[in-house]
Amino acid sequence: MGKLLQLRIGVRPRSVKTVMVMLLLIITLGIISSGFETRDDVTSTSLPADVKDSVASVKAFSIVYKVLMNPRCMNCHPSGDIPLQGNDSHLHTMSPKRGANGKGLYAMKCTNCHQPSNTPGMHTPPGNPKWQLPPADMKMVFQGKSARQLALQIMDYNKNGHKNKAELLEHARDTLVKAGWNMGQGRPAPPIAYNDFVKAWDTWINSGGYAPGK
Ligand code: HEC
Ligand code: HEC
């Protein structure tokens, strides 16, 4: 018994060193692995606010983009100077032109045919008091734009019709935007409900208006 005790005391200095080295190793490994964990897990609450915001923002824009590229919206945001028509976004029949102010040219003014509200029936003009294309000096093209290009364009004051943040938020409530969900017979609404679109729009902008990576 006494011999055993003596033996233990004898080896103590070495085992204390070993234990301390082991402890240091465990602590170091713990720090390293916890560092890796936070970097891998993007939804972790320990992430800095701006990283979380950019993730939430880009995610919300993917919903917004689905609406923007829908024919109900894209048909008035063409790459050329003639509006598009129908669910296949073909060129508008009789080719009404944008004109400098977006309201049409000469005898082909948009409001000659497009009334303040929808004309009942199939293949009749949808209506809204503000029916027109964006003006020639700021065309606000959606057609052919990638999600990244479109997000950057809309967040750019010099390309979005000179809208600041508050005006951009307000734009989702614009009568012409709302019109997309009420375009008359034969024109299905965008794939996202209007309220969900507004929610995604607000989230996108309020969390920084980030553009997706590509
Ligand atoms: C001569 C009459 C006429 C003029 C002028 C006219 N439109 Fe139209 N537009 C129509 C008719 C009719 C339809 C519906 C066609 C159909 O559904 O087959 C239509 C449909 C559209 C659509 C398609 C909506 C959708 O979601 O499919 C857009 C966009 C549009 N017009 C924009 C304009 C703009 C912008 C102008 C002015 C630059 C304009 N139109 C001038 C008659 C006109
Ligand atoms: C009848 C044509 C028309 C339709 C349909 C239309 N827009 Fe527009 N849009 C415009 C005009 C004109 C402007 C420029 C006026 C302004 O900025 O207030 C505009 C501007 C915009 C802008 C700001 C421009 C930018 O690129 O920064 C956004 C965003 C927008 N529209 C979204 C939509 C969405 C979403 C829909 C469908 C739900 C839609 N629009 C349907 C005519 C239209």
Q: What is the mean pLDDT of residues 168-173?
A: 97
Q: What is the mean pLDDT of residues 60-77?
A: 98
User: 129 versus 28: which is more confidently predicted?
Assistant: 129
Torsion of CA 79, 82, 87, 90, to 10 degrees: -90
Q: Which of the four pLDDT bands, split at 50, 70 and 90, describes residue 37?
A: very low
Cα separation values, 115 from 57, 125, 149, 183, Å: 37, 8, 33, 12
Nearest CA, atom 21, ligand 2 = 140
Ligand nearest to the backbone CA of 149: 2
Percent of the chain with pLDDT over 70: 79
**CB of 71 closer than 8 Å to CB of 186:** no
Chain Cα centroid distance, residue 81: 26
Report how far residue 129's alpha carbon sits from residue 195's, in angstroms, rounded to the nearest whole number.
22
Using the mean position of ligand 2's atoms as its centre, give its distance from the Cα of residue 178 in Å.
Answer: 10
Our answer on whether the CB atom of 189 is closer than 6 Å to any ligand 2 atom is no
Percent of the chain with pLDDT over 90: 75
Using the mean position of ligand 1's atoms as its centre, give its distance from the Cα of residue 92 in Å.
Answer: 6
The burial of 89, by beta-carbon neighbours within 10 Å (0-12 exposed, 13-18 middle, 19 or more buried), is given as middle
Locate the ligand 2 atom nearest the alpha carbon of residue 64 and give its number: 35
Ligand nearest to the backbone CA of 190: 2
Residue 40, C-beta contacts closer than 8 angstroms, at least 6 positions apart = none
Nearest CA, atom 25, ligand 2 = 160
Which residue shows structure tokens 């045919």? 113
Using the mean position of ligand 2's atoms as its centre, give its distance from the Cα of residue 120 in Å.
Answer: 23
Ligand nearest to the backbone CA of 131: 2
What residue type is assigned to position 171 of the chain?
H
Residue 14: the pLDDT is: 60
Average pLDDT of the chain to the nearest whole number: 87
**CB of 82 closer than 8 Å to CB of 92:** yes
Q: Which of 65, 73, 103, 152 to mutate to test the pocket of ligand 2 (most atoms within 8 A of CB)?
A: 73
pLDDT tens for residues 181-212? 999 999 999 999 999 999 999 999 999 999 99
Using the mean position of ligand 2's atoms as its centre, give its distance from the Cα of residue 4 in Å.
Answer: 88
Report how far residue 10's alpha carbon sits from residue 6's, in angstroms, rounded to the nearest whole number.
6
pLDDT tens for residues 72-120? 999 999 999 999 999 999 999 999 999 999 999 999 999 999 999 999 9
Q: What is the mean pLDDT of residues 12-20?
A: 62
Question: How is residue 112 written in tokens?
Answer: 């000659």
